[in-house]
Structure 1
Amino acid sequence: MVEAAGIDLLNLLLVLTLAWIFGLLVERVGYPALMGEILAGILFGPALLGLLHPSETLDVFAEFGVFLLMIYVGMEVDINDLFELGPQALMVAFGGFIVPFGLGYLVGVFIGVSIEQALFIGIAMAATSLATKSRILVDLDILDTRIAGVLLGGALLSDVGVMVVFTGVMSFVETGNVTPLGLGLVVGEALLYFAAALVFGNRFLPYVWSGMEDWMERHRFVDKTSAFTVALIVALIFAFFAALVELHMIIGGFIAGLFLRQAQLEPDIYEHMYDVMYDLAMGLFAPIFFVTIAFDLTLDVFTDSLGLLVLIVVTAFLSKILGSWLFTLPTKLTSREGLVIGFGMNGRGTVEIVIVSIALSAGVIGEELFSILVFTAIFTTALVPPTVKLGVEWLERSGELVFMDDATLEVE
């Protein structure tokens, strides 16, 4: 047991060290650190050198890392800005879901797989990754721009939509049919969660914080660490109830972060909480997540199923950009902003990997299709940082990078 613990510790040490080194290297050439972290996972993970390997310890740390990252990102975003950008975010989420899902299903029909497998190909293509987009927006320092607000809102709504459809498809796989009542219950549970989170976070959470601060002041017990612990407990409560209605825990973390920002804490307590959340997420746990998502990549698909791999990757890449861009055209976003948002929506990351892993364990898809869809998730995720970076620079040159505090901001 001691030897096993030592191996796990060495594995963790190597993951963190390589993530830090490769993150610094890619930052030196002007790209976000997560690109280097994913590259480290591919080069030194099971796909190539095999120096790094999956473990339960890494899985736990990676899950906690993406959770902390989402809390931090929520603390960076003003919920009022998200509400103002709601129509644009909804259009992006709808376009970014319906076009890839439809084309993915048609690809499945074209290659002759079963209806269940075709549906999973569609869901995998429609998936997006709120966590990946959030890290990229943090790395590029553009969380206070209009495209960031639309991207976060669109990714959040898209994640919810994908989870709802995924639940419906799993019901179809398990029972052979899916009833309108069953799907309606899934949608209703998700809507109920968001309504309850909004009421609790907006109406009751500020009183919780106020009461806690009064109690600490009366007992001369002003402990910033305790305030951080309470914040983490609140975030875990949001995540727990998200999981109860079959939403991903990161959605709960993001929403908790939104309301922590609105809680009107004492500035020094909030700043301490914010700094600790940033250091834990960006300096320790999140890099583990971005290294380990590359562990599921199998390079055999390049020799055994190259044609199918290219077809699915190209369809996934183009359909997400096209769908997101087309549905921003009726809004007051510019065409360039819509295209850059399409680039940002294109990364699938953890959401697709979770979905196809469940499909594999349920026996719906085989290892070949699983590997192809995992590579699609990693490939599209890896392309998001350079494409969004180039897109942001393009918007800056054209004078169309709009900041949320810009007096000229117009929303529907």
Structure 2
Amino acid sequence: MSFIGSLVIILLSTTLAGHLSARAGIPAVLGQLLIGILIGPGVFNLIHSTDLIDQFAEIGVILLMFMAGIESDTQQLKKYLKPALSVALSGVLLPVIIMGTISLLFGYHFQEALFIGVVFSATSVSISVVVLREFKALDSKEGATVLGAAVADDILGVLLLSLMIALIGSNGETHGSSNNVLAQLFFQSLFFAGVFLLVRWIAPGMMYLSNKLLVPTSRTISAMVICLSMAYLAELVGLSGAIGAFFAGIAVGRTPTKKIVDANIEPISNALFVPVFFVSIGLSVSFNNFLTSLPFIIIMTTLAVITKWFGGEVGSLLAGFNRNSARVVGTGMIARGEMALITAQIGFNAHLLDKDLYVDIIFVIVIATMLAPLLLRWSLKRLSSNN
């Protein structure tokens, strides 16, 4: 099927799924994930993942995080930096230690077990953002902590991944050179120095100049250039493009054009790119050898949920949050989504995972990601009912 035909099916099916999800009182994102499984190789085999679908999905992640950055209150992010770091640290250590240890008990080698832990240390905040926005909690202390923790979590995860690839090598052979890691750390430091310049001078200057152009969409175009450029630079230095887009959103959100840009970009992303992103996760599911792998999938999915939830909740409690707020943060960190999928893909290409284990991990990522919005929605309702 052509890409255009696939896109028509994706948009029609996700719209219907969103409507039915709203009628059933569940997050629309869950319906879109299920649609990806139904129309993909896992069930009806109508659509397969292609380079174009993957590119649209990547743009969906970038725009979703860009909008999250625009809507983020930087004062809130600064205010809750300490709990965010506490949540990120506990949320990375627990999956690496616990899921890595359990993987050893399943008979996997130390290298594979450690990498499984690294995969599930990642957090995909883009899915939690959808639910937080639905409850208008993106600027709350819980939302700010989840966003901040996800950024720190992503950086820690990338550092762990970079370290493993550098030490083990692209062919699965251990070597001791740390030049690649040091070079990557250097360029990532330059990237964050560039973020400071962007927020302070570059973005305000570009958006000011866009106001002077005799083009009706000049401000939106300038914002998109900033967003995509930062996503590209982030990927260039080994970070997720979502991180670059998030900081680009923060930079644009601090300018007077914030409302105009948000109002123009949100309909485009939500109508086209974001649905493709959520469907693309479901397209990764295959039921081959499912029964054989079922014990591993059930146990690892349970641990994937518990380690992030418990890690986020403990980190929040240590930072002084009450139990209900800590629960929101913990459930907000459960989703793995694109970050874990990307990490698993890198590990598979670097021969750190074999094909069967890679497919099982994809299954665990998808199931945990589908559970995440339900649990976050439940915890947000509990929080609002107790306030």
Q: How would you bin the TM-score normalised by the shorter chain?
A: over 0.9
Q: Which amino acid aligns with 1:193?
A: F
What does residue 398 of structure 1 align with?
Answer: 386
Q: Which amino acid aligns with 1:238?
A: M
| Separation of aligned partners in 2, 1:256 and 1:137 | 20
Query: Cα deviations across residues 201-258 of structure 1 (Å, max 9, x unaligned)?
Result: 2233213322342x33xxxx2x331221111111122112212210011111111011
What does residue 333 of structure 1 align with?
Answer: 321
Aligned length: 384
What does residue 208 of structure 2 align with?
Answer: 210
Are residues 1:130 and 2:125 paired?
yes
What does residue 153 of structure 1 align with?
Answer: 148
Q: Does the 8 Å CA contact 2:165/2:350 hold for their aligned counterparts?
A: no
Q: Does the 8 Å CA contact 1:66/1:281 hold for their aligned counterparts?
A: no
Structure 1 residue 180: Cα displacement: 6.1
The counterpart of 2:233, out of the listed 235, 241, 245, is: 241
Are residues 1:47 and 2:50 paired?
no
Query: Cα deviations across residues 75-121 of structure 1 (Å, max 9, x unaligned)?
Result: 11122211111001111111110111111221222222222211211
What does residue 263 of structure 1 align with?
Answer: 255
Q: Which amino acid aligns with 2:284?
A: D
Identity of aligned residues (%): 26
| Separation of aligned partners in 1, 2:176 and 2:15 | 46
Query: Cα deviations across residues 56-88 of structure 1 (Å, max 9, x unaligned)?
Result: 221121111111111111111122211111001
Scaled by the length of structure 2, what TM-score is found?
Answer: 0.94
The counterpart of 2:51, out of the listed 36, 49, 56, is: 56
What does residue 189 of structure 2 align with?
Answer: 191
| Separation of aligned partners in 1, 2:139 and 2:18 | 23
Q: Which amino acid aligns with 2:203?
A: L
Q: Does the 8 Å CA contact 1:317/1:346 hold for their aligned counterparts?
A: yes
What does residue 321 of structure 1 align with?
Answer: 309
| Separation of aligned partners in 2, 1:230 and 1:27 | 34
| Separation of aligned partners in 2, 1:210 and 1:54 | 40
Are residues 1:364 and 2:372 paired?
no
What does residue 278 of structure 1 align with?
Answer: 266
**SS of equivalent residue, structure 1 residue 246:** coil
What does residue 404 of structure 1 align with?
Answer: none
Q: Does the 8 Å CA contact 1:68/1:280 hold for their aligned counterparts?
A: no
Question: Structure 2: 5+ residue runs without aligned partners?
Answer: none
What does residue 252 of structure 1 align with?
Answer: 244
- The equivalences for 1:12-161 within 5 A come to 12-161=7-156
Scaled by the length of structure 1, what TM-score is found?
Answer: 0.89
**SS of equivalent residue, structure 1 residue 303:** helix
**SS of equivalent residue, structure 1 residue 144:** coil
**SS of equivalent residue, structure 1 residue 278:** helix
| Separation of aligned partners in 2, 1:72 and 1:273 | 9
Q: Which amino acid aligns with 1:287?
A: P
Q: Does the 8 Å CA contact 2:210/2:218 hold for their aligned counterparts?
A: no
Q: Does the 8 Å CA contact 1:209/1:263 hold for their aligned counterparts?
A: yes
Structure 1 residue 182: Cα displacement: 5.1
Structure 1 residue 186: Cα displacement: 3.5
What does residue 290 of structure 2 align with?
Answer: 302
| Separation of aligned partners in 2, 1:242 and 1:362 | 21
**For the pair shown, which has the larger CA radius of gyration, 1 or 2?**
1
Q: Does the 8 Å CA contact 2:29/2:278 hold for their aligned counterparts?
A: yes
Q: Does the 8 Å CA contact 1:169/1:178 hold for their aligned counterparts?
A: no
Question: Structure 1: 5+ residue runs without aligned partners?
Answer: 400-412
Which 10-residue stretch deviates more, 245-254 or 193-202?
193-202
Structure 1 residue 179: Cα displacement: 5.4
Which 10-residue stretch deviates more, 33-42 or 360-369?
360-369
The counterpart of 2:343, out of the listed 355, 359, 384, is: 355
Change over 3 Å in CA distance of 1:311–1:14 after alignment to 2: same
| Separation of aligned partners in 2, 1:322 and 1:363 | 31
The counterpart of 1:227, out of the listed 203, 206, 219, is: 219
| Separation of aligned partners in 1, 2:11 and 2:51 | 16
Structure 1 residue 47: Cα displacement: 0.3
Aligned-residue CA RMSD in angstroms?
A: 1.8
| Separation of aligned partners in 1, 2:142 and 2:259 | 26
Structure 1 residue 185: Cα displacement: 4.4
Query: Cα deviations across residues 306-351 of structure 1 (Å, max 9, x unaligned)?
Result: 1111221122111111111112222121122112211110110111
Structure 1 residue 14: Cα displacement: 0.4
Q: Does the 8 Å CA contact 2:57/2:276 hold for their aligned counterparts?
A: yes
| Separation of aligned partners in 2, 1:139 and 1:375 | 27
What does residue 342 of structure 1 align with?
Answer: 330
Q: Which amino acid aligns with 2:39?
A: F
Which 10-residue stretch deviates more, 30-39 or 107-116?
107-116
Structure 1 residue 178: Cα displacement: 4.6
| Separation of aligned partners in 1, 2:323 and 2:74 | 25
| Separation of aligned partners in 1, 2:232 and 2:36 | 29
Q: Does the 8 Å CA contact 2:76/2:140 hold for their aligned counterparts?
A: no
Structure 1 residue 188: Cα displacement: 4.1
Q: Which amino acid aligns with 1:128?
A: T
Query: Cα deviations across residues 372-410 of structure 1 (Å, max 9, x unaligned)?
Result: 1111111111111111111011111211xxxxxxxxxxx
